[in-house]
Amino acid sequence: MKVTLDTAISLLLKGDLVALPTETVYGLAARVDCVQAIENIFKIKKRPSFDPLILHCYNKKQALNYFFKASILVHKLLDAFSPGPLTVVAKKQKHVSDLVTASKQTLAIRIPQHPIIRRVLQQLPVPLVAPSANLYGTVSPVTAQHVMQSFSQTLAILDGGPSEQGLESTIVYPDINKQKLYILRPGMITKQDLESFIKKEAPDLTLETQAPHSFQNAPGSSSSHYKSKAPLYILKTDHNKHKAQNFLLQKFPKHKHKELLLDASPQISARRLYAQMRDLSVGDKSLIFVYQNQNNSEGLWTAIWDRLHKAASGFYDIDNI
């Protein structure tokens, strides 16, 4: 059910859930201090309780009330990339509920950029926890319609149009003792963006693209997530599309094969990706395939391929079959 900005704010104030637009994907939001609403998020998303939530704050000042003695590095990361699609994980304050952090000692915070969620956050006395507004393990929503497809008619949704960026935020964990900045989930802020940040603001730091051991079973980073309704297959080939077609036809003769076409611009591809995965899933026996070649692996492509590989039911290296 679509609601106005004022209704969304009053629902959140009294402890209800509201789906809100962000620049990355739509989120399913609740007040951080409302245990019952947070429990309800886990329930309606069918999300396991071991998967922690991201806290969405209006500004750095508010964020710092939820981190325990934030390091200078955390300050610098927030200054450099907020508001925007960067989520920072650091030690949490005691008053943050275990429900939010899945009993971890760390908390993930981001300061979103979308003007609508910013208007909501500005009007509320506390920040909002908000996972993506989809059922656990499935494709994230980038329009209000997508949110409506996953939940009951009664869920309040504030429609802010299609998400401009289309992929989830990058999640980082700065470890000052080890002088390392870990990328826990690739996203809209690229490795290159973080490298430039380090060069300028923290030259002694090393960037790690592998999560440290203690973070490795975080669900967003599990090997199967973001699943489309139709099975998706990745065909890796540099110049052998014909062979790939034949291979797929032989393997899945009864399916309707549909190609997911990526744009040459990774920004455009990211923006379209989740809607394409949904659209191509429509109909009986649909099967989605996408070609991967060596040209598109850098920058924002890392996040795009991370999601596609997690969504995929199979990966075939055609040139080496």
Minimum distance of Mg ion from residue 226's CB (angstroms): 8
101 Cβ partners below 8 Å, 6+ apart?
Answer: 52, 53, 92, 107
User: How far is Cα of residue 110 from the mean position of the Cα atoms in its chain?
Assistant: 12
Minimum distance of ligand TXA from residue 285's CB (angstroms): 29
Rounded Cα–Cα distance for residues 203 and 218 (Å) = 28
Q: Cβ atoms within 10 A of the Cβ of 261, count?
A: 11
Length of the chain: 321
Which ranges of 208-300 does DSSP label H, i.e. alpha helix? 241-251, 266-279
Structure tokens at 321: 């079959």
290 contact, one of ligand TXA, Mg ion, none, CB 5-8 Å limit per kind:
none
Which ranges of the chain does DSSP label H, i.e. alpha helix? 5-13, 35-45, 60-64, 72-81, 98-101, 115-123, 144-150, 191-201, 241-251, 266-279, 301-311
- What is the contact surface with ligand TXA in residues (CB under 6 A)? 22, 24-25, 27, 51-54, 85, 87, 89, 101, 104, 106-108, 110, 130-132, 168-169, 171, 184, 215, 218-221
Residue 132 sits in the site that holds Mg ion (CB under 5 A): yes
Nearest of 44, 117, 116, 54 to residue 89 by alpha carbon: 54
By C-beta, is 104 or 191 nearer to ligand TXA? 104
Taking CB atoms, the residue at the shortest distance from Mg ion is: 132
Residues β-bridged to residue 108: 54, 89
Residue 281 sits in the site that holds Mg ion (CB under 5 A): no
By C-beta, is 169 or 296 nearer to ligand TXA? 169
Structure tokens at 316: 């075939």
Minimum distance of Mg ion from residue 78's CB (angstroms): 22
Residue 138 sits in the site that holds Mg ion (CB under 5 A): no
By C-beta, is 63 or 133 nearer to Mg ion? 133
By C-beta, is 77 or 107 nearer to ligand TXA? 107
By C-beta, is 127 or 131 nearer to ligand TXA? 131
Minimum distance of ligand TXA from residue 10's CB (angstroms): 21
219 contact, one of Mg ion, ligand TXA, none, CB 5-8 Å limit per kind:
ligand TXA
Minimum distance of ligand TXA from residue 196's CB (angstroms): 21
Query: The dihedral of CA 226, 317, 302, 204: what is its sign?
Result: positive
By C-beta, is 89 or 156 nearer to ligand TXA? 89
Minimum distance of ligand TXA from residue 190's CB (angstroms): 14
Residue numbers of the site for Mg ion (CB under 5 A)?
132
